[in-house]
Amino acid sequence: MRRLIVLAVLLPFGLRAQPLTVAKTTDFSINGLGNAVEWKKTDWLTLSHREGKKNYETKVKLMYSDSGLYCLFQNTDGKITSTMNEDFSDLWKEDVAEIFFWTDEKVPIYFEYEISPRNFELPILVPNINGKFLGWRPWHYTGARVIRHATNILPNAWTAEFFIPYKVLEPLTNVPPKKGMTWRCNMYRIDHDDGASEWSWQPVRTNFHAFEKFGVIMFE
């Protein structure tokens, strides 16, 4: 039976939306194409256009396994803006896809992951204290802690596929997730055709780090 992602209804600021159900999967290989049969277990979630001149279609799939989180972005794009050639660069200044996971609402610390069309990444842990935030890079980022990621650039689109192992999320609490558990999350995209255009799952008023506005995901 095909499992469905329950789309969250965008509600006025301050109200929590219906949780997004995240399907469970067995582990599989990624190649940036998003053509693994396991992706058929869940449906696309379309991000909402936040601001900017371009309103390209931006879709995301999200699943989890016993060892980590799988994410797939599919981004329509008329022009790829991606010149950076190093991980941990300021990727948000060019075309980028982003996802944020806030695993415990009692602690104002969350994980942010960014990936560029050219497959460079920015994984950081972000303490956000009274609106003051700064990302910290993972230490001993090797072996089982490394995020697997791949991208694919097409004539009018680009895709990003990645696997975030729970080990790299340490020491965040409520990790790994269990069936029925909820986390807070948001997903974003920035494109730089004719200035910056932005998309998000849940709306934010100020910037992508407004974690109190993140949506809710529930693990199936």
66: left (phi over 0), alpha (psi -120 to 50) or beta: alpha
pLDDT for residue 52: 86
Average pLDDT on 6-28 reads 68
CA–CA separation, 52 and 153 (whole Å): 22
Average pLDDT on 156-184 reads 97
pLDDT for residue 17: 60
CA distances for 24 relative to 116, 178, 190, angstroms: 26, 10, 28
Which residues, other chains included, contact 170 with Cβ-Cβ below 8 Å and sequence gap of 6+?
none
pLDDT for residue 3: 41
pLDDT for residue 35: 97
**Residue 64's pLDDT band (cuts 50, 70, 90):** very high
In this predicted structure, the answer to whether residue 11 has a pLDDT above a threshold of 70 is no
Q: CATH classification of 46-219, choosing from 3.40.50.2300, 2.60.40.1190, 1.10.150.20, 3.40.980.10?
A: 2.60.40.1190
**Residue 204's pLDDT band (cuts 50, 70, 90):** confident
Q: What percent of the chain has pLDDT over 90?
A: 80
In this predicted structure, the answer to whether residue 194 has a pLDDT above a threshold of 90 is no
Which residues, other chains included, contact 206 with Cβ-Cβ below 8 Å and sequence gap of 6+?
none
User: φ and ψ at 92, to 5 degrees?
Assistant: -65, -10
Which residues, other chains included, contact 139 with Cβ-Cβ below 8 Å and sequence gap of 6+?
none
Domain boundaries, the chain: 46-219
Q: Please state the pTM of the whole predicted model.
A: 0.90
